Structure 1
Amino acid sequence: MTRETDPDMPYAEVIGDPIAHSKSPLIHKFWLERLAIEADYRTCHVTPAELSDYIERRSGDSAWRGCNVTIPHKIAMLDLVADPGGVREKIGAMNTVVRQADGSLMGTNTDAAGFLAPIADSDWSGKQAVVIGAGGAARAVLFALKQAGIGEITFVARSGLKATGLLVQASVKGSVLPMDARLPKADLLINASPLGMTGKPPLEIYLDPLPDDALVYDLVYAPLETGLLRAAKKRDLAVVDGLDMLIGQAALAFELFFGATPPMEHDAELRKLLVA
C-alpha cells in the first residue's frame, strides 16, 4: 500500500529547490520497510515563492508528519514555524519541521548533530578549521564545531559580511577569506556550500596548504565522490563524504516524524543502496 492508494497514510517529505537529487526518500523508506511501519516519505519541489503556501497547506493535513528542509529554505523557515528550542539564536537555520498532535508546527535542526557524528571521536579542542560557504549548512557546522571546542575558524565565502556576522553571532575566533584566496593551514576543511554538487559549479580550490594529517569533509553527496574528495584522496588525506552527515541527521528526523528509532544495525546495507 502507498500514499497514493491510502490518502490517510502518514507521510513526511523533503523540500527544496532543486530536490530531485535528494537521497532522503531512499533512507527513510529503507528504515520504514525494515521496521514494518505503514508510512511514506517523498520529495516535494518547493520554490522560495511557494514556501509559505506550502507550510500553510501541510499544516492542515493530519497525515503529514513534517519535512526535512534543504537548500534554499533553511533560513526562511525560521519565520514560518515555532522555534521552541531557540534554533534561531543557537544556529540560525532550520532543517526539520515537525507537525505536533494539535496541528501546530515546530522547527529544529538535526544537521549539527548529524555533521558532528562521524568526527566526534577526534579531539578538535583548540584546532583550526576552514569552512567553505556561509549558508544554512555552514551555520549548523559552526554550531557543531563550537560545541566540539574548535580553536579558530576561517570562512571562505562569497559574502564576507555574512560570514563575519556568523562568527560574531557565535562568538567564535576566526577570519574570513574570499573564494579565490589561498587556503590557510588547517586541521579540518569542510565544504558546506553547494559547489561541486551535480548541476552546480565545481569547487575550485587547492589543498596544498593543508598538512598531511588534515581531514577533508564534504557535505555534498551528489555526486558522492566530489572533486574536492578526489583531490584530497590524491594527497592521501583522510576524508568524510556527505552520506555520513545525511544519514546522521536523517536518523534524528526519522524519530521525530515516525516515533521510532531507525535500525542503525543495517547501516552498511543502507550505504550500499545509496551509492548504487
Structure 2
Amino acid sequence: MTSASPAPGARAAVLGHPIGHSRSPLLHSTAYRELGVGIDYTAIDILPEQAEQFAARLRTEPGWVGVSVTMPMKDALIPYVDEPSERVRRLGALNTIVVSRGADGVRLLAENTDVEGIIRSLEGARTAGAPAPASGSVGQSIAILGSGNTALAALEACSLMGAATVELLVRNPERAQGALELARTLGLEATALPYTEAATRLPGYDAMISTLPARAADTWVQALGLGARDGAESVGNTGVIKPGAVLLDVAYDPWPSALATAWEAAGGVVVSGLSMLVHQGVEQVKLFSGIQDADWGRVTNVMCDAVGLPRP
C-alpha cells in the first residue's frame, strides 16, 4: 500500500473515544517535522455510530491523507473502506486508513500496523537485556490478556515471532471463540482461560501482552497472582513469573499501570504501550507521507524523545 506525497494543506488525525489522552498527535507531528513534511495531525473524538459519516468526510473533504484508528473504531470503519489489506481481512480489525486519490477517484485503503508495533516493542525488550527465550524472538509460551481487536493483532504478532503456544486470559472464554479461530488460521496452538485461573500458569509464560484498556487490568492483578501476599507490599514478590519475562501493556495512561508495577516487582521486564505506539506510528507515517526512503532509525529516535521513551 502506498500513498502519493502530500500536497499543501494535507491533514491526518487519530480517531477514537476517549481520545484526549492520545500521544499520537505529538508523535506524528514530531515525525513530520523531522521529515520536512507538512501534514497537520489532530485528534478526533468519534463513536462507532459515526463511522459511515466520517468515512464520507474522508472522501469529500480536501486534504485528508489518512487517519490512525483506535478503540472503539477498529472494526466499525471496515465496512466503509474500499481496499482492506489481507491482514485487515484476516484480523477483522484496522488501525490505519490511507486516503488515496487517483484517476478513479478517492479510495480508502485499510491496514493494521499494530502488529509491527507489538513485534518491535517486544524485540526491543530483548535487545535491552531480557533473557533470550527458548524458541522464537518472543518465546515458546505467551499469554494475552483480552480477546478484542488489539488481541487479534497480538495473535498475528505471536505467530510471526515464532511463539509455540498462546493462552488468552479473559473474563468469558466463550466470547473468545473468534480469537481462537484466528489463532488456528495462523497456525498457533491457543486456548482461552478465565483470568481467575491463571495464577498457577504465570510461571510458564515467556511473555504477556495486555491488550486491555487503561485501568481495566487493575482488578486482575490479585487474581493473576501478582498482588501482595499476606497483606505485605508486592515489592519482592518474586517466583510468580519466569525471571525476566516480558510484559507489554498496551495501555500507557496512566503509567505505570498497576499491572506493570506488579509485574516489575515480581522480577519481570515491562514495556510501555508508548513503545508500541511509536513503532506502529512509524509505519503510519510512511503511509501518510508517501516517504519510504528515509533515516527511519532517526525518525524513531526523535519520536521516542518526544514522549520520554529510551531510544531503541
TM-score (norm 1): 0.88
Once the 2 structures are TM-superposed, how far is the Cα of residue 25 of structure 1 from its aligned partner?
0.3
Once the 2 structures are TM-superposed, how far is the Cα of residue 157 of structure 1 from its aligned partner?
1.5
Q: How does 1:30-41 map to 2 (within 5 A)?
A: 30-41=30-41
Aligned to 1:254: 285
Distance 2:55 2:89 in 1: 22
Q: Is the 8 A contact 1:90 1:143 kept in 2?
A: no
For residue 109 of structure 2, the aligned residue among 106, 125, 128 is 106
The change in CA–CA distance for 1:203 and 1:23 in structure 2 (over 3 A counts) is: farther
CA RMSD of aligned residues (A): 2.2
| SS across alignment from 2:77 | helix
| Equivalent residue letter for 2:22 | S
Distance 1:89 1:266 in 2: 30
| Equivalent residue letter for 2:211 | A
- 2:66 corresponds to 1:66: yes
| SS across alignment from 1:100 | strand
| Equivalent residue letter for 1:136 | N
More displaced 10-residue stretch of structure 1: 39-48 or 89-98: 89-98
Distance 1:114 1:88 in 2: 15
Q: How does 1:76-91 map to 2 (within 5 A)?
A: 76-91=76-91
| SS across alignment from 2:58 | helix
For residue 174 of structure 1, the aligned residue among 190, 196, 199 is 190
Once the 2 structures are TM-superposed, how far is the Cα of residue 188 of structure 1 from its aligned partner?
0.8
- The number of residues matched between the two structures is 267
Aligned to 1:4: none
Q: How does 1:179-258 map to 2 (within 5 A)?
A: 179-183=195-199, 184=201, 185-196=204-215, 202-205=218-221, 206-207=225-226, 209-258=240-289
TM-score (norm 2): 0.79
Distance 2:179 2:63 in 1: 37
Once the 2 structures are TM-superposed, how far is the Cα of residue 59 of structure 1 from its aligned partner?
1.4
| SS across alignment from 2:83 | coil
More displaced 10-residue stretch of structure 1: 27-36 or 255-264: 255-264
| Bigger Rg, which one | 2
Distance 2:283 2:262 in 1: 31
Distance 1:257 1:249 in 2: 13
Distance 2:217 2:245 in 1: 25
The change in CA–CA distance for 1:107 and 1:238 in structure 2 (over 3 A counts) is: same
| Equivalent residue letter for 1:60 | T
Distance 2:219 2:53 in 1: 34
Distance 2:54 2:264 in 1: 42
Q: Is the 8 A contact 2:214 2:252 kept in 1?
A: no
Distance 1:80 1:161 in 2: 29
More displaced 10-residue stretch of structure 1: 39-48 or 151-160: 151-160
| SS across alignment from 1:74 | coil
Structure 2 unmatched runs, 5+: 1-7, 127-131, 227-238
Aligned to 2:230: none
| Equivalent residue letter for 1:234 | A
Q: Deviations over 1:48-99 (max 9, x none)?
A: 1111111111211230011000001112222221234223443221000000
- 2:164 corresponds to 1:161: no
| SS across alignment from 2:218 | coil
Distance 2:88 2:274 in 1: 26
Q: Is the 8 A contact 2:17 2:45 kept in 1?
A: yes
Distance 2:44 2:26 in 1: 14
Once the 2 structures are TM-superposed, how far is the Cα of residue 269 of structure 1 from its aligned partner?
4.5
Structure 1 unmatched runs, 5+: 1-7
The change in CA–CA distance for 1:203 and 1:75 in structure 2 (over 3 A counts) is: farther
Distance 1:262 1:136 in 2: 31
More displaced 10-residue stretch of structure 1: 178-187 or 218-227: 178-187
Q: Is the 8 A contact 1:98 1:106 kept in 2?
A: yes
Q: Deviations over 1:10-52 (max 9, x none)?
A: 0100000111111000001111222222221000011111111
For residue 146 of structure 1, the aligned residue among 156, 159, 169 is 159
More displaced 10-residue stretch of structure 1: 212-221 or 130-139: 212-221
